[in-house]
Structure 1
Amino acid sequence: MCAPTQDRSGREVASFGATTAELLRMAEWLKARQVESVAMESTGVYWIAPHEVLEAQGLQLLLVDTRQLARVPGRDKKSDPTDCEWIQRLHSCGLLMGSFRPKEAVCMLRTLVRDKASLVAERSDWVRRMQKSLDQMNVRVHRAVSDIDGVTGMAILRAIAGGERDAQKLAKLRNRGCSKSKQEIAEQLSGHWRSDHVFSLQQGLKMYDAVQERIAAYEQEILRKLGEMERNEPYEPTAAPLQNANKARTIKNRGQEAKRQALYRMSGVDMTQIDALGVETVEVVLSEYGPDLSRFPTEKQFVSHVTLAPRVPKSGGKPVKKKKRNSASTRVAAALRMAALSLRHSQTALGA
């Protein structure tokens, strides 16, 4: 760590450990030198703990991309002491630009949403494993119903795991909204019921239920966190009803109306009114960026940061053919692309 000396006659370098006690001592050391703003490299995940501790102590943090440091000439040979002196020197001259990082409350919401997304992916994996067990027994539930984890599909799975083998009785579990008749469903539910596959199905169903329970816990915590982030500005207490009746019905059937209202009270804008933007998509956008986008002066800069802007390499004002850049898509970009994909065959202004 490099900072100006207490008499402001030069700069000094000090070393601190990685424990929380040492990080708090580092914060006191900086405050004793009247430091208000701190620049640090974004190296792996090692910057997160110091960043959060220093931010909690009231210091202004600037998270710097290491590529910016390499662009400025004049640095001596690379080492930790010389690096911190170089960062301090550039920061004192105002030559560093911080990476985007939302406020602490948004970061906490982001952690919950990302962890929930990991559980949702794990739940899908267990659905795939259950379907594999059914396929190995030649029980074609995926042919009988459109969604194996829908109302009818899960009712059939639970009955099979509970010992039911009669195809006609399994078909009676059909929800009235199913497009296929009981007879059509029963034709697909005759299997050989080998014991090892049945056991795998039972264990997969237990894991599915366990993950589903954890997801429900995350949903409750996300709603609680959104309640803490409600805006104090005057606005309508509830979001206006959706103009798209089918979309409103889908949100209601999924039990997402409470979260839709909570996201509206947190941001002050009901983004679900936009075609293709569902509650999950809005949740991802607001948890990654928050309701304040003032860090992006123009729409072009925001789209570029989301990695949705097309890159056309040019030389001499003319486009040139180059190998495609390997840039990782952000979570927001993936969610918006998925939303756009759902508009392909929709009868809306954006899907026309």
Structure 2
Amino acid sequence: MSRQRSIPRKVKGQARKIKPLDELTIVHPHAAGLDIGSRETWACVPPSSSPEPVRVFGPFTPDLHALAEWLIACGVDTVAMESTGVYWIPIFEVLEARGLQVFLVNSWHLKHVPGRTHRPTLACSQGHGQSDVLDCQWIQQLHSLGLLRGSFRPDAEMCALRSLLRHRATLIEHRSPHILHLQKALVQMNLQLPAVISDVMGETGQAIIRAIVAGERDPLTLARLRFPGCKSSEDEIAKALTGTWQSEHLFALKQNLQLVDYYTQILRECDAELERCFAAIKPRWDAPAELPQLPKAKRGSRSKNEPTYNARAELYRITGVDLVA
């Protein structure tokens, strides 16, 4: 029978030998920090890289290339910048194209790193304000110590697709108020079309509104324009379309319909561009020669703002996952 080793019990207050902690390790010795504004960009490199480690550059494209040239000449291989509005995008693209590793840092994370002190600034021949210089120095110091985490940014193809999708969403947002103004013009003439049909921009609603704009005023004639799928009867629609027909509200109705049509046409053009963008993206997975057939879409899943192309099939082709199932 083997003897068990006795384990000494810890006594409260007993001194323990503790290995002293080393100072913070420099993770990125050739790191730079950028403070980006609308009119100028402040850049800071390690003091050992340049006799003038802080410089300011303008917002124009030649200035951005000059910034990249200076960073490379200073031996910089990684750059950290704050995601300020959209001003960072051109700088990010120029630096990334020159082979630099760019960290796009969330503004909230940067502001909540403790320990910042207002120390004297480094020499800067441009003679600008102290706070801007401190910002780029602080970003450079944190990045050199590896305390900053870069945000995810997809590749160029996905960035282009994302920009177009966001633009499409903006167009839909801009069209929506004109639909509301169109309904307001109807109600001001006591044309209670929204009360008898669920969507004034549906087939029945558009047919009636376009006839009104074209000059038709007879409620019975307008009611006969209802589509078979409309739940309200012709008599109900005719009763709702007995209005006052003021000229100023008819004018507002016409112009808002024109604006809705304009945005609808622009959306179709945007969908065509999105379709071309989707077609240019290769699958991001080992896709078989023939993709499995997608299951049928859920009933009622169609949206009135649905694009003209098959977005579900394109996303499935690229990712191999039914993302909108």
Aligned ranges 1:199-238 → 2 under 5 Å: 199-231=251-283, 233-235=285-287, 237-238=290-291
Q: Is residue 234 of structure 2 the alignment partner of residue 182 of structure 1? A: yes
Q: Which residue number in structure 2 is paired with residue 17 of structure 1?
A: 58
SS in 2 for 1:105: helix
Q: Is residue 76 of structure 2 the alignment partner of residue 32 of structure 1? A: no
Q: Which residue number in structure 1 is paired with residue 178 of structure 2?
A: 126
SS in 2 for 1:79: helix
Distance in 2 between residues matched to 1:3 and 1:89, nearest whole Å:
9
Using the TM superposition, give the Cα deviation of residue 25 of structure 1 relative to its aligned residue in structure 2, in angstroms: 1.0
SS in 1 for 2:81: strand
Root mean square deviation, CA, Å: 2.6
Runs of 4+ in 1 over 4 A off after TM superposition: 7-11, 236-239, 251-257
SS in 1 for 2:79: strand
Using the TM superposition, give the Cα deviation of residue 194 of structure 1 relative to its aligned residue in structure 2, in angstroms: 1.2
Structure number with higher relative contact order (C-alpha < 8 Å, ≥ 6 residues apart): 2
Aligned ranges 1:1-352 → 2 under 5 Å: 1-4=43-46, 8=49, 12-66=53-107, 67-68=109-110, 70-77=112-119, 79-231=131-283, 233-235=285-287, 237-238=290-291, 240-244=293-297, 246-247=299-300, 250=302, 258-273=310-325
CA radius of gyration, larger in:
2
Distance in 1 between residues matched to 2:310 and 2:206, nearest whole Å:
25
Matched residue type, 2:104: L
Percent sequence identity over matched residues?
Answer: 42
Distance in 2 between residues matched to 1:125 and 1:74, nearest whole Å:
46
Return 231-240 or 150-159, whichever deviates more.
Answer: 231-240
Distance in 2 between residues matched to 1:153 and 1:252, nearest whole Å:
14
Distance in 2 between residues matched to 1:219 and 1:188, nearest whole Å:
36
Distance in 1 between residues matched to 2:239 and 2:295, nearest whole Å:
40
Using the TM superposition, give the Cα deviation of residue 23 of structure 1 relative to its aligned residue in structure 2, in angstroms: 0.3
Return 28-37 or 149-158, whichever deviates more.
Answer: 28-37
Unmatched tracts of structure 2, length 5 or more? 1-42, 120-129
Q: 1:226 to 1:255 in 2, by over 3 A?
A: closer
Distance in 1 between residues matched to 2:114 and 2:306, nearest whole Å:
52
Using the TM superposition, give the Cα deviation of residue 99 of structure 1 relative to its aligned residue in structure 2, in angstroms: 2.6
SS in 2 for 1:40: strand
Q: 1:72 to 1:166 in 2, by over 3 A?
A: same
Higher helix share: 1
Distance in 2 between residues matched to 1:49 and 1:155, nearest whole Å:
47
Return 88-97 or 127-136, whichever deviates more.
Answer: 88-97
Distance in 1 between residues matched to 2:233 and 2:201, nearest whole Å:
19
Q: What TM-score, normalized by structure 2, do the two folds share?
A: 0.75
Matched residue type, 1:152: T
Conserved in 1, the CA contact under 8 Å of 2:82 and 2:104?
Answer: yes
